[in-house]
Amino acid sequence: MSTINELLYFGQKNLLEINLESAILEARLLLQHALQMDNTALLLNAEMQVPAPQTKNYEELIARRILREPVAKIIGKKAFWKHDFITTKNTLDPRPDTETLIESVLEQRPNRQKKINILELGVGTGCILLSLLDEYDNATGIGVDISAEALAIAQKNAENLHLNARIKFIQSNWTEKLTTENNTENNTENNTENFDIIVSNPPYIPSGDILGLATEVAEYDPLLALAGGTDGLDAYRTLIPQAVKHLKQGGLLALEIGQGQEQSVAALGGESGLDLLEQRQDLSGIIRTLTFELK
């Protein structure tokens, strides 16, 4: 039998051989998953002998990572903002750069106690909307996605965070079903609900660029959540005008965008009557989010 330290060395060595920058961290995360131990337990039991079935399980996890399957897909969860979120082949993995969307909304709407309602278009795992509901104590939310599989995962994440009482999920192509499935006191005369905040991380990769992405993205993230048409802007052309129809006067629209898309998306917002409040950079210094207000 191998010890925990020996298995860690095995995992690190194999992942370093495929030039993974975070090989040491990933080997440890996969071993934690295989042994159902946290990092402290690994450190305290470094010389513990690991039974053969768990050793084999770990070796299989390392083999999957060598094939470039993302760690989040292997272990079934990914950290985002303040919590872990379930993620599967049917959802886009939460990414640190997307946290700029949370930062921007919180900065533009700093009152955490105000009663507000939030809409997310393309909810995926629910990481954005659920993180915002966690920050705004009196907020309610609606998460929309065209994928029933993604909505099922978002529902599980809501339950895990004990936020399911404040959120509703609707299967819809953007806002199509909001007018028919969602009657609340905030509805206008034409039966359309208006929101204080709308957020979205839509597909924005130009379709021709998909195959050139990292294997972890191109082969393991759902194409539906990536492909944004020939120039990557198809989703914005559709969702921005629709979102405006569902925003309250003075409401906020916060969007994640692809590299170099800020001018085009800002122009689309302006054409729909929105004022650009902020461009926020991600961890790499790339403009990653645009935040608008309805005039």
Segment 181-187 mean pLDDT: 46
Segment 29-35 mean pLDDT: 97
pLDDT band for 127, please (50, 70, 90 cuts).
very high
Instruction: Determine how β-strand 83-86 pairs with β-strand 77-80.
Output: antiparallel
Asked if pLDDT for residue 166 goes beyond 90, the answer is yes
Segment 154-173 mean pLDDT: 97
Distance CA 263, CA 233 (A): 11
Domains of the chain: 2-67 (1.10.8.10), 81-294 (3.40.50.150)
pLDDT of 181 reads 46
Stated pTM of the model = 0.90
* pLDDT tens-digit series, residues 275-285: 999 999 998 99
Inter-CA distances, 241 with 52, 235, 270, 288, Å: 58, 11, 10, 20
In percent, the amount of the chain with pLDDT more than 90 equals 86
Segment 42-65 mean pLDDT: 95
pLDDT of 192 reads 56
Segment 5-27 mean pLDDT: 95
Measured at the CA of 54, the angle between CA 50 and CA 57, to 5 degrees, comes to 140
Distance CA 227, CA 216 (A): 15
Segment 27-36 mean pLDDT: 96
123, 130 in Cβ contact below 8 A?
no
Average pLDDT over the chain, rounded to whole? Answer: 93
pLDDT of 223 reads 85
* pLDDT tens-digit series, residues 192-251: 579 999 999 999 999 889 888 899 998 888 888 888 999 999 999 999 999 999 999 999
pLDDT of 186 reads 45
Segment 56-75 mean pLDDT: 96
Q: Name which residue leads in pLDDT, 212 or 76.
A: 76
pLDDT of 204 reads 94
Segment 159-182 mean pLDDT: 88
Distance CA 217, CA 272 (A): 32
pLDDT of 226 reads 87
